[in-house]
Amino acid sequence: MRNTFVFTIILLCCIGCHRQPEYRIGVSQCLDDAWRQKMNEEMERELLLHPDIRMYKRIAYGSNELQCAQIDSFISERVNLLIVSPNEAEEVKPAVTRAYRAGIPVIVADRRVTGDEWTAFIGGDNYRVGELMAEWVATVQSENSQAGKHGSLHVLEVAGLPGSTPATLRHNGMMDKLTELCGEHVPEVQTVLGEWMKEDAYRMVTEYLAEHKDVDIIVAQNDLMAIGASEAVRANSSYGAGSVRIMGVDGIMPGLQAIIDGVIECTATYQSRGDMVIETAAHILAGEPFVRDTIIETTMIDATAAYALLMQHEARLHDLQTLHIVQLRSDNLWQQMRSGRRRLITIIIFFFLLLVVAIVALLYMLTHLKTEIRRDILPQLEEVEQTLETIQLSQRDIAFGERMKQIVDDHLTDPNLNVEFLSSSLRLSRTQIFRRVKTVAGKGPLEFIRERRLLRADELLRTTDMTVQQVALELCFSSPGYFTKCYKDYFGHLPSERK
């Protein structure tokens, strides 16, 4: 019973123990645009290889305050690692520093924070992105001069959020490279702030174009702002179709489609590489060596490359769908297993309870039976036993009576017939002779002997010619007078009056 109980408990514990993820990672994203969503997807996919890690994601929607508060709540939740894509470097730095000082490893992704209190950084080569922009501007300028259009170009830069490091680095990279490539013919560059958003870019470019009719090139620091700028150009009647050449940055959807559709001309790749971020996180959590500063390369994408990338993108989408279906199926399977396991636990608990109830009922019945046996059956048994004993006893007594009667009857004429004689013939003590003769004959042994002699005397008097004296002597009475007295006491009349 005890073993069954212990076994069941162990079994329940084993089944009940579902392995919880060992590590919790907090992800703080500054925005929720297509680029961020792609990065999140890449991280989620990579996490399929790390079932011991669970990711919790929060989005700051471009607010430094919200992002700091979200990081602080990750700190108080004691996540095992933090991934931060800061909205603005200086403003988000204090929260990142707090996390780092609280002993939480921090991976800064894409945009940097100021200072160096972080564990690892993974992001694109923003300075090089700026250089690519400059190289494209220089190419356009030389194409123009070859076409007979001399003079510097008028470039409009649509910059991202000024406090975010990619915005500064891309600007610096572009300006430095323009100086290097164009020398004294450095194009005139004006900057408007699009803050990384299509709508802001549209608004800012619209306002700018209303004042300036001579823009040749727009370099937007991301594809979304490039598309917004393109819409602003098209909405301005002073600019003819294709009169302004536009470049963006990122090289993912919807930028690639915009290039193929002729909305913008080209873009520079800026990869999100969420997979790399998770890989680094896994190394840090496992205490393995990792690269502290990872800079991802960039390259230029024109219409041909955009078309190739789009095809790749579609193939990737198909792969993702397949992966999603596989994931759904495995989730389903897992669900089924979980509910199967739950059912098994219920069945085990049910049978366990049934066992307990059965044992309790059995114990109750046993105790009840015991009391009943003690109260009703035992006395009855005792009675039966006594009756049996009595029966056995009376059978023995009858046999004893027969034997005794035989011995007495055989020795009626023997003067030695007395208690001692019976005691030695029947091999019983005097006391036993007295007790047993009393039991079977209802009288003492002497009385019994006398009775048998009187009955024989009566028979002799009736069947023979013997006198009273002769019979009294024959049957060992001490005198005829004593015989006469005994005879009268027994039969109620004198021997001489016998019938």
Element (H, E) at 97: helix 89-101
Determine whether 32 is exposed, middle or buried from the number of CB atoms within 10 Å of its CB (0-12, 13-18, 19+): middle
Q: Is 196 in the site for ligand FRU (CB under 6 A)?
A: yes
Q: Is 111 in the site for ligand FRU (CB under 6 A)?
A: yes
Q: According to CB under 6 A, which one of 110, 125, 265, 275 is a site residue for ligand FRU?
A: 110
CB 38 within 8 A of CB 320: no
Q: How far apart are CA 284 and CA 234, in angstroms?
A: 49
* End-to-end alpha carbon distance in the chain: 87
Q: How far is the CB of 160 from ligand FRU (least distance, A)?
A: 6
Q: Is 171 in the site for ligand FRU (CB under 6 A)?
A: no
Amino acid at 247: M
Q: What are phi and psi of 158, to 5 degrees?
A: -105, 105
Determine whether 7 is exposed, middle or buried from the number of CB atoms within 10 Å of its CB (0-12, 13-18, 19+): exposed
Q: How far is the CB of 9 from ligand FRU (least distance, A)?
A: 53
Q: How far is the CB of 326 from ligand FRU (least distance, A)?
A: 29
Q: Is 127 in the site for ligand FRU (CB under 6 A)?
A: no
CB-based closest residue to ligand FRU: 222
Q: According to CB under 6 A, which one of 33, 117, 135, 451 is a site residue for ligand FRU?
A: 33
- Which listed range, 33-41, 67-75, 296-304, 488-496, lies at the site for ligand FRU (CB under 6 A)? 33-41
Q: 3-class DSSP state for residue 355?
A: helix
Selection from 173, 236, 163 nearest residue 195 by Cα: 163
Nearer to ligand FRU, 202 or 270 (CB): 270
- Binders of ligand FRU among residues 269 to 288 (CB under 6 A) are 270
Neighbours of 244 (CB within 10 A): 22
Q: According to CB under 6 A, which one of 67, 222, 267, 298 is a site residue for ligand FRU?
A: 222
Q: Is 67 in the site for ligand FRU (CB under 6 A)?
A: no
Q: How far apart are CA 218 and CA 263, in angstroms?
A: 12
Selection from 66, 74, 78 nearest residue 27 by Cα: 74
- Which listed range, 28-36, 76-84, 207-215, 280-288, lies at the site for ligand FRU (CB under 6 A)? 28-36
Under rule CB under 6 A, how many of the chain's residues touch ligand FRU?
14
- Going from the C-alpha of 317 to that of each of 160, 261, 310, the distances in angstroms are 28, 20, 10
Q: How far apart are CA 203 and CA 8, in angstroms?
A: 70
Q: How far is the CB of 330 from ligand FRU (least distance, A)?
A: 31
CA angle 244, 248, 254 (to 5 degrees): 110
Q: Is 121 in the site for ligand FRU (CB under 6 A)?
A: no
- Binders of ligand FRU among residues 356 to 375 (CB under 6 A) are none
- Which listed range, 27-35, 99-107, 212-220, 386-394, lies at the site for ligand FRU (CB under 6 A)? 27-35
Q: How far is the CB of 139 from ligand FRU (least distance, A)?
A: 22
Nearer to ligand FRU, 141 or 267 (CB): 267
Q: How far is the CB of 30 from ligand FRU (least distance, A)?
A: 7
- Binders of ligand FRU among residues 238 to 267 (CB under 6 A) are 249-250
Residues at the site binding ligand FRU, with contacts judged by CB under 6 A: 31, 33, 35-36, 110-111, 160, 164, 166, 196, 222, 249-250, 270
